[in-house]
Amino acid sequence: MALLEVLKWPDPRLKEIAKPIREITPEIRKLAEDMAETMYAAEGIGLAAVQVGAPVRMIVIDPAREGEAPRLQTCLNPEITGGEGEAVYSEGCLSVPEVREEVKRFARIKVRYMDLEGKTREEDINMQEHGVLPIVFQHEIDHLNGIVFVEYLSRLKREFIKRKMRSVQAFNPNRPSEKVA
Ligand code: ZN
């Protein structure tokens, strides 16, 4: 396994639309392992392949809190097939260190994806039962479509964050922040 470099916004590669995974090759399995290791090392709760410079439709998620057993999910070609309700949650992102901002999303979603065994799975998840999980799925799937959560903020706020990012990176390129996706 290996730690991967997480691209930092506004790296243009974060805008790439990721390609569907047609076949679960040894390379895909290795990427999945490395992504999980990278996510845990950075104390993140989700990571999309796009964020490590691999523009394929794969995400890893683990919403377990400290002290809880790990609940790693590796999702290939994930898609939101339904959404309802509204939730405003203060999100963070491993590609935008030290920043948390509120984003409005669905509170309940249906999601479909393929697991690493090639089996199609469908889940109906909501914030009441599953905590932050629906938010993490929406955030990570956005990455596969070239969207970083700061795109939802006002232009003014985004420019402010861009400036902040430059100074954060200048001082400490790899410092992990709070649990983020
Ligand atoms: Zn993110």
Chain segment 94-132, per-residue pLDDT in tens: 999 999 999 999 999 999 999 999 999 999 999 999 999
Per the CB < 8 A criterion, the answer to whether 135 and 127 are in contact is yes
pLDDT at 66: 82
| Known active-site residue 68 | no
Q: Using the mean position of ligand 1's atoms as its centre, give its distance from the Cα of residue 95 in Å.
A: 6
CA of 58 to the centre of ligand 1 (A): 13
* pLDDT at residue 144, rounded to an integer: 98
pTM of the model: 0.92
Query: Catalytic pick from 140, 151, 159, 178?
Result: 140
* pLDDT score for 74: 98
Gap from CA of 26 to ligand 1 centroid (Å): 25
Separation of CA 180 and ligand 1 centre (Å)? 7
Q: Are 38 and 7 in contact (CB under 8 A)?
A: no
Report how far residue 155's alpha carbon sits from residue 161's, in angstroms, rounded to the nearest whole number. Answer: 10
Domains of the chain: 12-171 (3.90.45.10)
Instruction: Report the alpha-carbon distance of residue 130 to residue 124 in Å, rounded.
Output: 10
The string of pLDDT tens digits covering residues 134-161 is 999 999 999 999 999 999 999 999 999 9
Q: pLDDT over 90 for what percent of the chain?
A: 86
